[in-house]
């Protein structure tokens, strides 16, 4: 979960099977799965969704987007999540540290 006012953090009451999160670039996060959970990022589906209540931008149609990027080199062994603001094709898309997200591994 990103924290625009400081380091990103996991919300303990809502977190399972992840040990840490780090911001590795603008709107780019590396989540480290708990080794005891046996999660192989190359063999699981990763669902990422917007957490609108904790995001730091106004919510409107297609303003915020979060997605998982599994073919990454910045986050070895982890799950990389990229968040962008205003992802409409007509806009200049840029990473955003103000987008909160949830990750689910079914």
Domain ranges of the chain: 12-104
Q: In this predicted model, what pLDDT tens digit does every residue of 34-73 receive, in sequence order? A: 889 988 877 888 888 888 788 877 666 555 566 677 677 8
Q: Give the per-residue pLDDT at 62.
A: 52
Considering only CA atoms, which of 87, 86, 76, 81 is closest in space to residue 100? 81
pTM confidence score: 0.81
Report, as an integer, the average pLDDT of 1-22.
80
């Amino acid at each position: 979960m990103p924290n625009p006012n400081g380091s990103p953090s996991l919300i303990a009451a809502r977190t399972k099977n992840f040990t840490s999160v780090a911001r590795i670039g603008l709107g780019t996060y590396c989540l480290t799965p708990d080794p005891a959970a046996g999660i192989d990022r190359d063999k699981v589906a990763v669902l990422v969704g917007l957490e609108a209540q904790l995001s730091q931008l106004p919510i409107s149609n297609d303003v915020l987007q979060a997605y998982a990027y599994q073919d990454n080199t910045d986050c070895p062994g982890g799950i990389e999540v990229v968040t962008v603001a205003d992802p409409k094709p007509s806009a200049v898309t840029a990473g955003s540290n103000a987008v909160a997200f949830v990750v689910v591994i079914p």
